[in-house]
């Protein structure tokens, strides 16, 4: 049995590098949004109003339901929350075997 090492949990879980990269970005955005809600001491209803979404969407965000969010929606929510999203592009590191 060969042990594999991965740079990210998403590299291990997703079928393709494309899917893994998408999930990494979504997870990072969701963490930033959750941290912003907590730091601003917002209720879910207040966050929903600020982000321009429904309260159940904020509940999904706070519970980490990553599969119900796309990158566009998360970027829009981040901008509404007063966060600046910056993209960094670099070559993908090869996973270690």
pTM of the model: 0.79
Domain 9-80, classified CATH 1.10.260.40, yes or no: yes
Q: What average pLDDT does this structure show over 38-65?
A: 96
Three-state DSSP state, 68: helix
Q: What is the pLDDT of residue 1?
A: 67
Q: What is the pLDDT of residue 97?
A: 47
What percent of the chain is modeled with pLDDT above 90? 63
Q: Is 74 exposed, middle or buried (0-12, 13-18, 19+ CB in 10 A)?
A: buried
Which residue's structure tokens are 């993908």?
A: 92
Q: What is the mean pLDDT of the chain?
A: 86
* 83 CB-near residues (< 8 Å, 6+ apart): 32, 33, 36
Distance CA 48, CA 63 (A): 14
- Terminal alpha carbon distance of the chain: 12
């Amino acid at each position: 049995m060969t042990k594999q090492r991965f740079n990210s949990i998403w590299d291990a879980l997703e079928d393709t590098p494309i899917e893994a990269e998408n999930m990494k970005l979504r997870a990072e955005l969701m963490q930033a949004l959750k941290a912003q809600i907590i730091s601003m001491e917002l209720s879910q209803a207040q966050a929903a109003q600020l982000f321009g979404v429904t309260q159940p969407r904020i509940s999904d965000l706070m519970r980490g339901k990553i599969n119900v969010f796309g990158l566009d929606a998360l970027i829009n929510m981040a901008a509404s929350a007063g966060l600046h999203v910056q993209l960094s592009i670099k070559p993908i590191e090869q996973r270690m075997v």
